[in-house]
Structure formats: structure tokens, C-alpha cells
Structure 1
Amino acid sequence: MSLAHDLEALAIDIAQDAGALARSRRAEGVDIAATKSALADIVTLADREVEALVRARLAEARPDDGFLGEETGAERGSSDVTWVIDPIDGTVNYAYGIPQYAVSVAAVIGEPAPELWEAVAAAVYAPATGELFHASRGGGAWLGDRRIEVNAEVGPAGALLATGFGYDPATHAGDLARVARVMPMSRDLRRAGAASLDLAYVAAGRLDGYFERGLAPWDHAAGALLVTEAGGSFEFVAGDDAQPRPLVVASSPVIFDRLLTAALDGED
């Protein structure tokens, strides 16, 4: 078995264990531990507990690997592998009892930065539905034991797209302007609140495309591999002085260039 398959198997196992813990804590009730970048950007006690579980499992199974997690930051390892973790993607949904949340686990090789790394294994587990999306480099993308692919065609009504908005109110005008540019190619737009699942849904053909500015690395590390292994296109556009928030675009190849152009047009 290859390293990528070994890492995929571990990602699956850990994501499911972490998801079971998140689901049980949700049933018990959610306590808000803190806010992060903005008042609307929250972290729950469950986020921290789930990330602690993931870290403990990885430390036992692969002690030489690095770690990049939403709640506890980054640690370089002595191996070339870094695990990029979102313990509960969709925390606001989770806190409100909306079942659109997931555990996102990715293993990447190289520098622990999205523009530099190569993702080699991924698992996105949705505890509320029991759906497990997973992939390994060169091994395809899967929903459970069923191989998945992006949509090969987009109908005349337009593409079903998804996006998200930043928590900082100062970014909302730009986000809404981006939506206005994209809508002419869209039959409708979804805003579900969990980027890892949006990307998984692109991989599974449930969405034709997804775009968003301001995602953190753990938001898209696993989902990006799902999309590309499902035959889709994915682009990470790093931020700069003019536009510090990075842009992520993922879709079926048949609409990718048009979606990327629409998401970027009009920006400085």
C-alpha cells in the first residue's frame, strides 16, 4: 500500500472518531468558548475538544508529522507530512443546531502553505448525515465506497453554485459584488456555511462550482483534493497587498475559466 493510501486510511479513521465526539457534544448542548476574528466568528468548547482528540491520535500514529489546526495553530514536524485539520467546519451551524458541519482532515507534503503544498490524502466527515468523503492522490475521490465525479455538463439553466461570506462586516460589500458578477452564469446560489462540505459536494456533482474569498487553509485543504481527484478544477489565488484575502474557486472544468474570471473581475 502506498503512503497516500496509508494516510487516507488514517484520515478516515480519525475523521470518523472526531465526528462521533462532535455529534455527541452537540447532543449534550453547545457552549461558546470564545470569539475569534469577529464577534460572529465563534469557537465552541467542542471545537477544542475535537481538535485535541485529533492531535492525540496523530501523535500516537505518526509522531514525526507536522500539524496545522484551526484551534491550536501550526507545528512543524521532522517528516515531510503535515496534517491540516478543521475539527468542526461550520461552527456557527453547529452552535445553532443546523446539521451542515463536518470534520475536515488532510495530509499534505511540502511547505505547510496552500500555494506550496501537495495534498495527498483527505477525509471530510459529516457527522449529522454519516456521509464520509475521502480521497488520496491518484486514487480518486469517494463517498463511502462509491467513486464520485464532478458534473461533466452544465445545463442551459446555468450552474448551481455555492459561496460563503466573511465574518468581518467590512468584507461583505466585496462578497456581494462578487456574487453579482457570478449570478449571470448561475441557475441558483447556495450558502450553506461549511466550505469543506461545499467542496465535497462539487466533487460529488451536487454542486457545479464553489467560490469564496477569505478561507483559511484548514477550510479547503481536504476539499481541494476531493475536487481534483473527482476530475474537477481547483484554484487557490493567494492574497496580496491590494486584496489580502485569498480566493478559492472549484468547479467542473466546463465552467471553471468562466467562474474564475467572474470571481476575479472588477477587483483591484
Structure 2
Amino acid sequence: MVSDVELDDCRLVAEEAARLGGRELLRRFGDHGRVDYKSAPTDPVSEADRASEARVVELLRARRPDDGILAEEGSDHVGRSGLRWVLDPLDGTVNYVSGIPFWCVSVACEEQTEDGWRPVVGVVHDPIHDETFHAARGRGAYLGDTRLVRPVRPLDQVTLASGYAYDVAHRGVQSAVVADLAGDVRGVRMLGSTALALSWVAAGRCDVYVEDHTFRWDWAAGLVIATEAGAAVEISGSRVLAAPPELIDELRPRVAALG
């Protein structure tokens, strides 16, 4: 198990890395360079994504050379310490290349256990608003220096956040799930960044988040932040469901079509 000293060190490194990537993205916002496409024409990757990842990976290799790295744009590294960094150098690329100011850098640290990799540190940095959400296992979740504790609200006062997959054919399924919930909640928002949405759940800006067709780098950091703020977060296949613990049993069967 990771020691308290190492948890603190990893959190500080994650914050430094996320801010470094954020500065690179902020410098390029509005002039992001060439855009290519990965799995579909709805799945862009920009020169800014790659530049941010290069800066973050360079710092992680320098500060934590024995740790592994799992990165969205392919800068993977096999480590030998039992720790691994999971990073999304730009979560919310569609927003970013469209000029929408809702995107972030997500950096998580995981420890290897008998049951697989488990996130223990998470940092999500929003450069546009200069907000840094951070958490370490057992230490609570914070926005800057302010501790985050999710509010308690009944379902009819909940704000639900969601998003749509790059797979256009799957969006009908997602729409049906959201439509089923929409009449029971206060509001629905499509945000475009899993990491920021989970951080906003921690901050009480939204209460429930559900999306599928996600990847580990989308949710690893946000999972730690939301969980440490008191939310329940479940990963089932590619589906993420974050909700107040008192509502998650009610919501789980209603989002079962996702995953």
C-alpha cells in the first residue's frame, strides 16, 4: 500500500503536471493547430493534445522515473514501482477545438493491487477558470484549499450531467436513458468532459453524472475526487455512474442500457 508520504508526493507531482499541461493548452487555445481523427470523425485529436501530453510525460518521467504511464495519446511507459500515472492531456477536445471553455487536464496515480490497478490520487485542472480539483485516498477532496463535501439533495432537486459517445449510432441509446431520467430531475446538462463533470459532482455543481463509451484516462482522476467528496462512483464496463450514495441504487437499473 502506498505510504502517506508517497501519497503526498504523488499529489504534488500530479498538480504540477496538470498545471504544466494546462499552460500549454491555454497558450494554444484558439490556435490549436492541425486536427486529426481517431476512432471516428467525431473523435478529434489536435496538436495541442499531443503537446500537452509531451510536457506532462516529460515531467512525470523526470520526477517519478520508476512509475508506469498510461496516456490517451500513446505515451505509455512500463514501470517497476507498482505505481502508474493515468493521464488525459486534454479532456474535452471537441469543446477545445470548438472554442468552448470547458476542458481540462486530468492526471491520476494508481497503485497495483491483487485486484488490478486502483486510483489513489487525482488532479483535474481547468486552466480557463484556474481551478484545480485534487484528492488523495483517505485525505478528502479539494478545490484549491477548500474542502469539498457534496450536498444532499432529493432526486427532484438533482442536476444530471451526461454526454454523448463518439459512436453516433449509440447516441440514441444514451438519449433514451437521459430522457427517462429528465422528468425526475431539476435539470440536465451535457458538459463534454468526464473528468470535469466528476469534479463538478464533488463540488456540488451537478449531482449525478452518467456516460458510457469512456476510457480509464477519462475517469481515473475524477473518480478519486468525487469519491473523496462523498459521492458513490461505479464503473461498469465503459459506463460511469456517479451519484449520491442514497440515490445510486435507484439510478443503477435506470442506466443499465449503457455500458
TM-score, normalised to structure 1's length?
A: 0.91
Correspondent of 2:112 among 110, 113, 118: 110
Give the structure 2 partner of residue 71 of structure 1. 73
1:26 is aligned to 2:26: no
Q: 1:183: Cα distance to partner? A: 2.1
Go from structure 1 to structure 2 and tell me whether the alpha carbon gap of 1:14 and 1:267 turns closer, same or farther (over 3 Å shift): closer
- Give the Cα separation in 1 of the matches to 2:246 and 2:150: 10
Root mean square deviation of aligned Cα: 1.6
CA separation in 2, counterparts of 1:81 and 1:185? 41
Partner of 1:152: 152
Q: Which residue in the other structure is 1:53 paired with?
A: 55
In 1: Cα distance, 2:44 partner to 2:33 partner: 10
**SS of aligned partner of 2:165:** coil
Choose which of 231, 241, 257 in structure 1 pairs with 2:249. Answer: 257
Please give the alpha-carbon distance, in whole angstroms, between the structure 1 residues aligned to 2:219 and 2:227.
12
1:178 Cα deviation from its structure 2 partner: 1.4
Distance 1:33 1:160 in 2: 33
Q: Could you tell me which of 91, 100, 119 is aligned with 1:98? A: 100
Cα distance between partner residues in 2 of 1:117 and 1:185: 36
- Residues 153 and 254 of structure 1 are in contact (CA less than 8 Å); yes or no, is this contact kept in structure 2? no
1:81-96 matched pairs, under 5 angstroms: 81-96=83-98
User: Unaligned stretches of 5+ in structure 2?
Assistant: none
CA distance in 2, matches of 1:13, 1:125: 10
Q: Does 1:235 align with 2:238?
A: no
User: What is aligned with 1:125?
Assistant: 125
Distance in 1 between residues matched to 2:234 and 2:183, nearest whole Å:
21
Tell me, which stretches of 5 or more residues in structure 1 are unaligned? 239-245
Matched letter for residue 25 of structure 1: R
CA contact (8 A) 2:57 2:75 kept: no
In 1, Cα distance between the equivalents of 2:52 and 2:227? 27
Cα deviation, residue 254, structure 1 = 2.2
Distance of 2:172 and 2:154 partners within structure 1: 29
Q: Which residue of 2 aligns with 1:218?
A: 217
Shift in alpha-carbon separation, 1:256–1:207, aligned structure 2, 3 A: same
Q: Give identity over the alignment, percent.
A: 38
TM-score, with length taken from structure 2: 0.94
Task: Supply the distance in 2 between the matched residues of 1:100 and 1:65 (Cα, whole angstroms).
Answer: 30
Range 187-196 or range 174-183, more displaced: 174-183
CA distance in 2, matches of 1:255, 1:188: 16
The answer to whether the Cα contact below 8 Å between 1:196 and 1:219 also exists between their aligned partners in 2 is yes
The answer to whether the 8 A contact 1:154-1:208 is kept is: no
Paired position in structure 2 for 1:241:
none
Show the counterpart of 1:8.
Answer: 11
TM-superposed CA distance for 1:73, in Å, is 5.1
